[in-house]
Amino acid sequence: MLRKGTPGEGWQGAADSFSYTPVPAGTKGGFSAWLAGDVYWALAHEHTDRTPGTKPCLDWLTEGALRCPRCNSKKLPVWIGWVPLYREQDHKPVVVVIHENAQDLVRELHYPDYVIVGRVDDKAGVFVRKSDNPLSFKTANQNRKAPIDITRDLLQMWRMPQLEEWLDKSAKQQRREQEAAAHNARMRLSVPPPTTDTEALAIDAERKAPVDWDGVVDRATGGLKRGAVAPSKNGKHGGDS
């Protein structure tokens, strides 16, 4: 008999890949869904024939580190929200785009609220609102049992090489700084704090010494131990004199 099983059984499985979906206008164009995670809000430039795709403003997103090629005095960025959803009809992970005027409808939404997605007419923006007839979200997929972060999916949807390169450099710089901090912490903990100026000089000599200086610190600290004597009962310190 051929082996058979259940998807996701016994292993975590691949994470969902969210993709943008348009919302047709009219009462018949809407659909029901469950909210998959938080709405991602950003100042963004909307789609035009000359600059296709709604994408975040690079200047705003990177706090001025990158110049935004879409910024100009005639076309200012607007607040855009990317909403991750599990569509009820086929449970497909999708993303819809909403505008600032629809924020009141999503402000109190949380994973995994049951929502209605629609667009009143051709000139109206997309809305996402809580359904009047809530339906519980049920899934055997472990990846869907908690709110998701769609940052990775948004980067794929936006296709902005300049942003991806900047993020990669920032991540590498952060790793270098973390490694340097960890190295410095290990150096600080590698020896006990010096108790005298002579010990401090000996420890510094060991850290800066060439490889053929073996034993310098041992001799220095050994001399300290040999020269140390217990305080005399008459309060004098030092040798036999």
* 206, 102: one domain: no
Determine the Cα–Cα distance for residues 64 and 31; give it in Å rounded to an integer. 39
* 131, 220: one domain: no
The domain boundary, picked from 159, 178, 206, lies at 159
* 151, 212: one domain: no
Do the domain assignments include residue 33? yes
Letter string b/e over residues 89-98, b meaning 16 or more CB atoms within 10 A of that residue's CB: eeeebbbbbb
Contact between residue 97 and residue 54 where contact means Cβ atoms under 8 Å apart: yes
Residue with tokens 């706090």: 63
Determine the Cα–Cα distance for residues 29 and 27; give it in Å rounded to an integer. 6
Total Cβ atoms within 10 A of residue 19: 12
Do the domain assignments include residue 2? no
Which structural domain, as residue segments, surrounds residue 214? 191-228
* 56, 103: one domain: yes
Q: pLDDT 10s per residue in the chain (241 long)?
A: 787 776 666 555 568 999 999 999 887 889 999 999 999 999 999 988 888 999 999 999 999 999 999 998 677 899 999 999 999 999 999 999 999 999 999 999 999 999 999 999 988 999 999 999 999 999 988 899 999 999 999 999 999 999 999 999 999 998 998 888 887 877 666 656 656 677 667 666 666 655 554 554 455 444 444 444 444 444 444 444 4
- Residue 98's DSSP bridge partners are 81
Do the domain assignments include residue 106? yes
* 211, 115: one domain: no
**How many domains does the structure of the chain reveal?**
2
Do the domain assignments include residue 235? no
pTM (whole model) above 0.75: no
Give SS3 for 82: strand
